Every structure is written in C-alpha cells, then in structure tokens.
Structure 1
Amino acid sequence: MLKSFLNHPYTFWAVLCLPAIPMVAGLTSGDPKAVHQLLHPTGEFAARFMIIAMMITPLMMLLKGWRGPRWLMKRRRYLGVAAFGYAALHTVLYLIDEGAGAFAGGELAQTYIWTGWLAFAIFVPLAVTSTDGWVRQLGPRWKTLQRFVYGAAVLTLVHWAALHDWGGIGAAMVHFVPLAALEGYRLWSNMQRRSLRLA
C-alpha cells in the first residue's frame, strides 16, 4: 500500500508543489516586499525542475542498473509542467513587481530580461503539448518539439548568470554544470555506439 501511495501521480505532484507552500504564505503575509522577494525562488525552482527533467535520460544511460532514473522517466512530463508552472509564477510576479516598466525599451534590452522572455516563450508550447492527447496527435514531431528545451536551458542559464551585472553566474553554474556534464556523457556515449555500429 505504501508503494502504491508513493507511486501515485498525486503524491509526486504534491512533492512538486511543496516549494510553492512558503511562497504562497509569503504572498499572503501582507509584506509589501513579498512579490519582489519571491522572484528569485520561483525562477530558481523553474530552472531546477527543468534541469532535473533534462538529466533523466543521461542518468539512465550512466546508471543502467539503478531504477531511480527509470522511475523519474515515467514522471518526466510532470517535472516539465512543474518547471513551467514556477516559470509562469516567476513571470507574473515580475510583471506585478515592475508594472508598466516591464515593457520599457531599456528594460527589454537588458540581457537578463530578453533571455528570460525567450526562455518562457519556448516553455509555453512545450507545456501545452505535454498531454497524452498532444503526444498522440504530434507523433514523432512531439520529440522534435521537445528538443527546443535545450534552447530554453541555454537562455535560462544566461538569464540567471546575467542577473545583477553577471553576479548570478556562480549560482547558475552550480545548477547547470552537472547537466552539462551529463549531456556531454550522453553525446560521447551515443558517438561510441555509432562508431561500434559502423566498425
């Protein structure tokens, strides 16, 4: 019964929603700075869930005998939708915090702003097409569409790193270097298999 509970989709969704609990509490606290203070946590969790989702496939290749990555693979779309949810909340809070100034020319020209908007624009169709119906309807094109997440990841990295005159580069690298290493391993492994087939 415990195994069934842990494997239930609602249980996993509850885990993904846990970071939002203190965020909602902060928004309802009446603190006038709450919106601004939640910009970083919402953005960070959007990036974290995206990174975890992207790490699953190379982890399956690297840790073939471990069931953990396979368990996560079955829930990868949940992680992607959660990443979009926190990114959407991040965007809404930014618009509330900045008001009309969010669309000022000087603001939009900032690297950390336009990269954030582009990353979010990529997230939207990925989230919309995450349902089983869309997967069936798009067929092989669904995987092609999902590969745009790599562009979103690069934009997110630059968005995070460029914050405060590139003062966010340390935190960004801590999160993205493991992903880059795993993707490097994935590329190397695929090249090795291709070489063996051609030999």
Structure 2
Amino acid sequence: MEAMTALLRILNSLPIFWLLLSLPAVALMRGYWVGDIIAMDMLHPTGEFSARFMIVAMIISPLITIFGNRGWTSWLLRRRRSLGVAAFGYAMLHLVFYIIDMEELEPILAEFWAPGIWTGWAAMLLFVPLAITSNDASMRWLKRRWKMLQRLVYGAALLTLAHWLLIHDGMTGALVHFIPLFMLQLLRMIIIYGRKNKNVVKADSPPASVTTE
C-alpha cells in the first residue's frame, strides 16, 4: 500500500508531468540530431503537439462546468498552466524548424502574407503574452486583467485551426482535434446560459404570499 502511494505521489508530481510532456520533443529532436528526420518533417509533428496541448488545456474549463469539481477535474486544473506552456514550447519548436527549413529570410518574407502562413504567425503572436504571464507573479500583478488576457487563447485556437486547414490538403486531422473542443465549449456556454436564466427567473419571481383564514 505504501509503495502504491509513493508511486502515485511520483506520478502526480509536476516534474514528472513535465517530463512526460517533453518526451515527444525529445524523441523528435533525437531523430533530427541523428539525421533520421529533416527540418521539413519536423513541422507537422511539432505543430500538431502544440495544438493538442493547447486543446487539452482549453477543454478543462468546459469539463469542470459539465462535471463539477471532482478529483480528476481538479487534477487537470492544477496542470493546465503546464499544458499551456508546453503548447507554446512546441509552437516555438515548430517556428524554429520552419525557419531552418526556409534557410533564408527572403523566402520567409515572400510567403508571409499567404493565408496559411500569416495565420500561423498571428497565432504565435497571441501565444507569446499567454506564455509570458503563465506564472503566479503575473496573476498577482494583473489581477482581473489576467483572466482577460488569457482569453487570447480563443483567438490563438481559431488562428491555429485556420493555419492547419490552409497548410494541409485534408481537413480530417484538424477537425478530429478541434471538433471535440468546439462541442465542449458550446455545451459549456449552454450550461452557463441556462444557469443564468434560472437565476434570473428566480430573482424575478414574486414572493410567495401568505394567507390566513
């Protein structure tokens, strides 16, 4: 029993969680280092992992709205910041290997305004303030503005989806990743809207009359 408790404690530790998040990057970098993978072939997996971690981080709030505060939703909530930073890290890898693949500044600038390209740059631009402020000090300093800033993730998600759809010929991969996010966010909005309407109805209802005979 003690051994199981110790194992769970290790698995639940943030350093181990960060190690798990980094494993795909380690495997990809090893393949690139030994020459099994070229820079161009690094673009799709790094971008995909970035989108995956972003999506997982974004579905945590809908899951809490739907299922309430449970052990597993609280576990996910405590790791949401790590997932968001990991999404940014893989996006940075994606950008680095894009620059390596393009080799020179001129071709990068030449295709900058192509829809499939500028959407990726714009998503990255929104990712930067999210990553920079993913710490307790920023939360204390920004206070209520911190939550407003974090809403940039919705714009980043839409731009990431557009980038994915425009860069690749098929839509299946992007939709498989993003439709669950869209459905959960929609369900969250419906639940929140229903709760607000319920509270409004309660507030508008006249008090029960008391009659005596």
Report how many residues are paired.
195
Shift of 1:73: 0.4
For residue 69 of structure 1, report the CA deviation from its aligned partner. Answer: 2.0
Q: Does 1:11 align with 2:13?
A: no
Structure 1: segments with no counterpart, 5+ residues: none
Cα distance in 2 for partners of 1:99, 1:65 equals 49
1:108-151 deviation per Cα after TM superposition (whole angstroms, max 9, x unaligned): 12111000000000000100000111111111110000001000
Equivalent residue for 1:25? 30
Q: Is the 8 A contact 1:160 1:168 kept in 2?
A: no
* Aligned residue among 174, 182, 185 for 2:184: 182
Paired residues of 1:161 and 1:170 also in contact (CA < 8 A):
no
Give 1:99 shift: 2.1
Q: CA offset at residue 21 of structure 1?
A: 1.9
Question: Which protein is bigger by CA-based radius of gyration?
Answer: 2
Which residue is equivalent to 1:51? 55
CA contact (8 A) 2:53 2:84 kept: yes
RMSD over aligned Cα atoms: 1.3
Question: What SS does structure 1 have at the residue aligned with 2:103?
Answer: helix
Please state how far the C-alpha of 1:96 moved relative to its aligned partner: 0.7
Kindly indicate whether residue 161 of structure 2 is the aligned counterpart of residue 132 of structure 1. Answer: no
Instruction: Name the TM-score, length of structure 2 as normaliser.
Output: 0.88
Q: Distance in 1 between matches of 2:34 and 2:66?
A: 45
Q: 1:15 to 1:184 in 2, by over 3 A?
A: same
1:70 Cα deviation after fit: 1.6
Distance in 2, matches of 1:35 and 1:5, equals 35
CA deviations on 1:77-104 (whole Å, 9 max, x unpaired) are 0000000000000001001101224433
Which whole-Å CA distance do the structure 2 matches of 1:42 and 1:80 have between them?
Answer: 14
Superposition pairs for residues 166-181 of structure 1, below 5 Å? Answer: 167-181=169-183
Structure 1 distance, partners of 2:184, 2:14, is: 27
Identify the residue that residue 207 of structure 2 maps to in structure 1: none
User: Does the 8 Å CA contact 2:66/2:191 hold for their aligned counterparts?
Assistant: no
Give the letter aligned to residue 174 of structure 2: A
CA distance in 1, matches of 2:103, 2:126: 23
Distance 2:109 2:10 in 1: 49
Select the residue among 150, 157, 161 that pairs with 1:146: 150
Amino acid at match of 2:19: A
1:9 & 1:36 partners in 2: Cα distance? 32
Cα deviation code 1:39-64 (max 9, x no counterpart):
00000000000000000010112223
* C-alpha displacement of 1:187: 0.5
Which piece of structure 1 moves more, 80-89 or 53-62?
53-62
Q: 1:102 & 1:84 partners in 2: Cα distance?
A: 24
Distance in 2 between the 1:102 and 1:79 partners? 33
* 1:162 aligned to which of 166, 169, 173: 166
Structure 1 residue identity aligned to 2:102: E
CA distance in 2, matches of 1:47, 1:142: 22
Q: Among the aligned pairs, what percent are the same residue?
A: 48
2:65 alignment partner, one of 54, 61, 64: 61
